[in-house]
């Protein structure tokens, strides 16, 4: 019992938590070739070019304020909640493409990044070369806050 009480006393209590749900409509995708020549395409142009069209995205942001008033963020872009960094107005998750948890050999040597600007409500998915920081793909969506019919 003493160990349980000590554990409870040492565990930080969450002061508050806020969940924000967003529905995001596609704007465009920028694709860059090996010579770093980039072109922007909307969903229709992507389909015409033989690529998958952009789809509406659903995001969830959770902001947690601990009892010491520090804030932490989690972002779910469809793969489950992941710890996110907030720099200025941008909440961002980056994943190393060499990480086996991505389960995709197409990302080896790349960095995959998901970010949302909380002021402009612009969501971006970016894939870039790990060694050179050269962008391969950058897709952009415009987001609006949503609520459940049960809220």
Each residue's pLDDT tens digit, 13-30: 557 889 999 999 999 999
Q: In degrees, to the nearest 5, what angle opens at C-alpha 127 toward C-alphas 122 and 131?
A: 135
CB atoms within 10 A of CB 103: 7
Sign, Cα dihedral of 135, 97, 125, 56: positive
Tell me the mean pLDDT in the region 144-151: 77
pLDDT tens digits along 34-86: 788 898 998 888 888 888 888 999 999 999 998 888 999 999 998 889 999 99
CA distance 54 to 59: 15
The tokens describing 10, both together, are 């040492």
- Residue-level length of the chain: 151
Task: Assign 3-state DSSP to the chain and report helix, strand, coil percentages, each to 5.
Answer: 15, 55, 35
Specify the pTM. 0.80
The per-residue pLDDT for 11 is: 52
pLDDT exceeds 80 at position 142: yes
The per-residue pLDDT for 54 is: 86
Which residue, 116, 14, 13, is CA-closest to 61?
116
The per-residue pLDDT for 86 is: 96
């Amino acid at each position: 019992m003493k160990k349980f009480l000590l554990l409870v006393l040492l565990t930080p209590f969450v002061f508050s938590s806020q969940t924000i749900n967003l529905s995001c409509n596609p704007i465009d995708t920028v694709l860059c070739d090996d010579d770093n020549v980039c072109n922007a395409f909307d969903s229709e142009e992507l389909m015409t070019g033989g690529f998958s069209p952009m789809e509406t995205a659903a995001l969830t942001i959770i902001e947690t304020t601990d009892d010491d008033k520090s804030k932490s963020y989690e972002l779910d872009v469809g793969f489950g909640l992941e710890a996110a960094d907030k720099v200025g107005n941008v909440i961002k998750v980056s994943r190393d493409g060499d990480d086996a948890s991505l389960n995709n050999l197409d990302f080896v040597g790349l960095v995959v990044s998901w970010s949302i600007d909380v002021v402009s409500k612009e969501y971006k998915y970016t894939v870039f070369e790990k060694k050179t920081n050269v962008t391969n793909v950058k897709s952009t969506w415009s987001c609006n806050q949503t609520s459940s019919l049960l809220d």
